[in-house]
Amino acid sequence: VIGHPKYQESQRIAIFLSMPDEIQTEEIIKDIFEQGKECFIPRYKPHSSHMDMLKLSSAEDISSLALTSWNILQPSDDDSAREEALAGGGLDLIFMPGLGFDKKGNRLGRGKGYYDTYLDRCMKHPSGKPYTIALAFREQICESVPMAENDVQVDEILYEDC
């Protein structure tokens, strides 16, 4: 990931805070700050498909975040001091989680449509749609993942042995 050309050329990067069953992102987040890049993480709105990408000030900033009912760390709802990526310069790159992927870029998320809805908002931003990279285990690569009309394909899937 760290050697990937799209990562190297990107300045504003959104990345998920990994759950135990996902590719671990802690080292990538540390590298984003070591490289002087800007790091944004998701804040999900419960009972909706709305998600924002909010700026972290440092890798250590993660320890100040609240734990949601889904056991995900994220900025609290009343945290209005953080920059939302689309309120500023947009994003260059989004690292995306998922449950399953196929080699055409189809992605099976957790069913709420957060990333699809967010990418739709990105397409309306002056900076346009960021490049998307899904981080996956080899076992998550499927022959075919069904897609709905509002699903957005990922640009690339990185997994072991790819």
Residue numbering of the annotated binding site for ATP: 107-115
CB within 8 A of 106, min separation 6: which ones?
A: 144, 145, 146, 147, 151, 153
Residue numbering of the annotated binding site: 17, 22, 107-115
Domain of 9: which CATH number?
3.40.50.10420
pLDDT tens digits, 35-52 = 999 999 999 988 888 999
Element (H, E) at 114: helix 114-123
Element (H, E) at 33: helix 26-34
| Rounded-to-integer distance, Cα 36 and Cα 44, Å | 26
What does the angle CA 24 – CA 75 – CA 62 come to, to the nearest 5 degrees? 45
Range of the domain at 45: 5-158
* Whether the Cβ atoms of residue 144 and residue 109 lie closer than 8 Å to each other: no
Residue numbering of the annotated binding site for substrate: 17, 22
Please tell me the pTM assigned to this model.
Answer: 0.94
Q: Give percent above pLDDT 70 in the chain.
A: 99
Total domains present in the chain: 1
